[in-house]
Structure formats: C-alpha cells, structure tokens
Amino acid sequence: MGIEVGAGRKAQVVVIPFPAQGHINPALAFAKCLASKGLLVAVVTTTSIAKSANFSDCTSLTLHTVSDGSEHVEGTETVEAYLKRFRCNFSRNLADFMDDHMSCARAIIYDSIMPWVLDIAKDRGLAGACFFTMSCGISAVFHHLGQGLLLRYPYEDDVAVSLPALPQLEKRDLPSFCHVVDPEQCAVKLLTDQFSNLERADWVFFNTFDNLETPVLEWMRRRWAITTIGPTFLLLGESKKHSISLFEPKADAYREWLESRDPNSVVYVSFGSMASLKKEQMAELGHALLATGYHFLWVVRSSELDKLPPDFASTAAGKGLVVEWCHQPEVLVHKAVACFVTHCGWNSTLEGLSHGVPLVAMAQWADQTMNAKLVADVWGAGARCGGRDGIVGREEIAKCIERVVGGDEIRRNALRWKEMAAEAVGKGGTSDLNVVDFVSKIAFDDGGDFSPTSVLV
C-alpha cells in the first residue's frame, strides 16, 4: 500500500468510495466540500484505480491507496469472483492501513455497497457514515427487494407494483435485478446488503436533495438517519476539478464547436462510463439524430466507435460531432444545449436536472429504468423512450427529442428543478445545512455521541 499525497497530515475523516467512476465522482466532490470547510480529509482508493485515473488536482485533501489484490489477477474474472476478491483483500488491507496511518481519524464515510466497512470503523471506535450514490427511490426498492416484498408481484407487463411512498410502478420501471429469483445472486445480494447494518450507521448520506424526493425521504427517515447532501457536484460550484475520468480525455474541440452553435440548438447524447449499446441500437440512434435536423454532440467511448454505421461520419459532417470524452457538467451548462439524451444513470440524471436541461431517457439496466420513470412521469422534466426487444427505434427517439425540445412545460419543469437544486446547496439550503452540521460534529465533538441531533425534513 502506498501514500500518494500529503502523508504528514492527520485526517479527521476518511472517505472510501467504491472503485468505479460513477461512485468515485460524487464521493470525491463531497470530500472536497468537507475539506473546503476545514476538515482534514483522506480519500482511500485502490492501487489499480489510482493508476488509471488523474487525481492530481486533489490538493485540498490527501489521497491514499490500498491494494485490492488486482495485481495478482491473470486474465478476466467474473463479477462474482471480482466482488469476492475485492472484499477479501481490500477489507484486510484497509483495516491494516487504518491502524498504521489513520489513528487520528474520527469518522469513515464509505460507499453503501461496502457495508462491511462499517465494522472496520466501529471496531476502532470511529463514527460510520454510509454514502448512497443512487437515488432514495431506487434504494427503497432494493430494500423492499431484500425484504421479500416484491416476491408477491408476478413479473408481467400489466401488473402494477405498489410500494410505500413511491409512485405506482410497472414491470418496465423496476430495476433489472428485481427479475432475478435467486436472492443470493451476486448483483442482487450486493444491492440488498446495503441495508444489512444500516441502523448501526451514525449518518446515512444520499446524493440527492429534499424537494426532489420528499415522500420517499420521509418514509426512509422514519427508519434510518438519512441526510441529504446533494447534488454533490454543486457543493463547490461549477468546476472541472470536482471529478475524475477513468477514460483518457481527448482533444476538447467540442468546446469550440459548442460556441459556434445557436442557443438551444444542440442535442447532447451520452450513455455514461459503463453502458454498452448494441450495434443495431447505435444505428437507430444515429439515424434519429440525423432525422431531427438538430445539431448534436454525441459522446461515444473508443470501445464503442466500431458500432457506428460505416458511413455515419460523412453523413453527419457539418451537423454533428462525435467525441470520445467530454466534461459533462461543462456541456450541460452551455447555452447551446437544448436537451440531453441519456441512459438515466443517477449521476447523469441529477446533472441534467440540476442544470435545467430537459432529458430524453433511454434507460438500459439497473436503476436507470426507474430514474427514467421518475424523470418523465413524476418530475415532468423529460420524455421516456419505449422500445421492443431491447431496441428503441429511430422514429421513437426522434419523436421524444422533438417533444422535449419543443415542450414548454417540460422546459419549465426542468428549470424549476435547477432552481431547487441550487437552493439546496446554497447557503442555508437543506443540503448545505446538513453538511455544516456534519462538519461541526466531527470538528468540535468532545468524544460523545456522533449521531445527528436533528434531521432536516
């Protein structure tokens, strides 16, 4: 294990994100916010992630690495093998690291899908703060799944699912893992185990804001010490230095390209760091973008480029720009962007809402289907694409883009969520006050009870 940055500082708070980009970025933004308010913060990640990501701008906190055993892995491994190896190696090495280097720490903030970190904290007399990177709504669904509540519903298209404090859901709204019968299946267990010891956590942080998820927040707060702190990427204002990329950033020609476009004239398309579209779906999406007549900026990872139609580059010349990477918040805040075609991962959904950009939801799997449901039917900030056999046709995509770009009510709703997000993280907002409360308890507590004395509802 190695100490990369600032080994001499004594951390008060140790932040441990799960080593995936969608988990690291919200946790890193929160860590930087805590550091900006005077706490000494250490971020601990795996040696493999530290090698593939650029953390050079993390000057406000210390960065440390712990081995997860990946250096001994040859060839590929299954998800189940990875999770088993990760927990075994990382938990052991993290415990040793805490004993050797973090004797002054007062609290550990850990990703919710690593509930076993709470035992490491409690064994050392430290406060434990669980950090959820998904929405409250989808997290509640995973809780009900673990409790067996969803087993009473047959998985048929026309069966409505009613869960406490949530809108009525259909089969297509539920996360894909809900259709797995075996509760011990590794992905299902990973998500349901988030609640295995949650009542022992001193704080339960969610990257959301109160007004966005009020009903389910009220339901969850009757059970756990829920604290909203989001959107975390807004806690320190707009800045490229609040996130890292596990993909090599290419030339940023998109900035100049966006500047040359008229206001509300560009369709921005991105499916995140993990989603992989079928070749047929890429073709349908490409044809839809060309059919709308709007300019478009499409982020396609290098591993996905060969799925584009062979003549797409020449056909789209002058109309669209395909890039392998961009800084998403920077794009979403740009005046040229009219809408965001997204897979509806929680980070992307929250970024779109927080920038007031209407969304076209093309959910793929996991929590994305429910996020898409909420975007279209609850928050009224976008349109949801429907498809058959896992493929959304070009006509459907084009229709949704036209509806969103030309929809005055959708745009008004999106701007309303932007205002509420800014209000939550602004001085005196719910998320801001929750962060201040946490900082005061860590910085000035005399060794007594770490638990929050009040919850903002």
Three-class SS state of 356: coil
Q: What pLDDT, on a 0 to 100 scale, did the predictor assign at position 365?
A: 82
Are residues 271 and 400 both part of a single domain?
Answer: yes
Residue 454 lies in a domain: no
Residue 219 lies in a domain: yes
Residue 414 lies in a domain: no
Q: Are strands 41-46 and 62-66 parallel, antiparallel or unpaired?
A: parallel
How far apart (Å, rounded) are the C-alpha atoms in residues 273 and 301?
Answer: 8
Are residues 81 and 166 both part of a single domain?
Answer: yes
Are residues 266 and 231 both part of a single domain?
Answer: no
How far apart (Å, rounded) are the C-alpha atoms in residues 166 and 141?
Answer: 9
333: domain CATH number is 3.40.50.2000
Are residues 311 and 270 both part of a single domain?
Answer: yes
Are residues 199 and 63 both part of a single domain?
Answer: yes
User: What is the domain count for the chain?
Assistant: 2
Are residues 60 and 170 both part of a single domain?
Answer: yes
Are residues 307 and 211 both part of a single domain?
Answer: no
How far apart (Å, rounded) are the C-alpha atoms in residues 406 and 386?
Answer: 19
How far apart (Å, rounded) are the C-alpha atoms in residues 52 and 248?
Answer: 9
Q: What pLDDT, on a 0 to 100 scale, did the predictor assign at position 315?
A: 85
Are residues 331 and 199 both part of a single domain?
Answer: no
Are residues 230 and 260 both part of a single domain?
Answer: no
Are residues 251 and 143 both part of a single domain?
Answer: no
Residue 50 lies in a domain: yes
Q: What pLDDT, on a 0 to 100 scale, did the predictor assign at position 55?
A: 60
pTM: 0.91
Are residues 305 and 367 both part of a single domain?
Answer: yes
Q: What pLDDT, on a 0 to 100 scale, did the predictor assign at position 187?
A: 82
Residue 376 lies in a domain: yes
Using alpha carbons only, give the angle 189, 132, 121 rounded to the nearest 5 degrees: 85
Domain that holds residue 74: 2-240+427-444
Residue 450 lies in a domain: no
Q: What pLDDT, on a 0 to 100 scale, did the predictor assign at position 7?
A: 44
How confident is the chain (457 residues) per 10-residue block, as mean pLDDT?
A: 44 93 92 93 89 63 90 84 94 96 94 97 97 96 89 67 92 76 75 95 98 97 96 80 55 85 96 84 94 94 87 86 90 96 96 98 90 97 88 96 94 97 97 96 65 33
Q: What pLDDT, on a 0 to 100 scale, did the predictor assign at position 128?
A: 97
Residue 150 lies in a domain: yes
Residue 449 lies in a domain: no
Q: Are strands 203-206 and 127-132 parallel, antiparallel or unpaired?
A: parallel
Q: What pLDDT, on a 0 to 100 scale, did the predictor assign at position 243?
A: 59
Side-by-side strand order, sheet with 359-361: 320-323, 295-299, 266-270, 337-342, 359-361, 382-384
Peptide bond into 231 cis (omega under 30): yes
Q: Which residue has the tokens 């893992």?
A: 177
- Tokens in use for 244? 């890292």
Q: What pLDDT, on a 0 to 100 scale, did the predictor assign at position 241?
A: 52
Are residues 231 and 259 both part of a single domain?
Answer: no
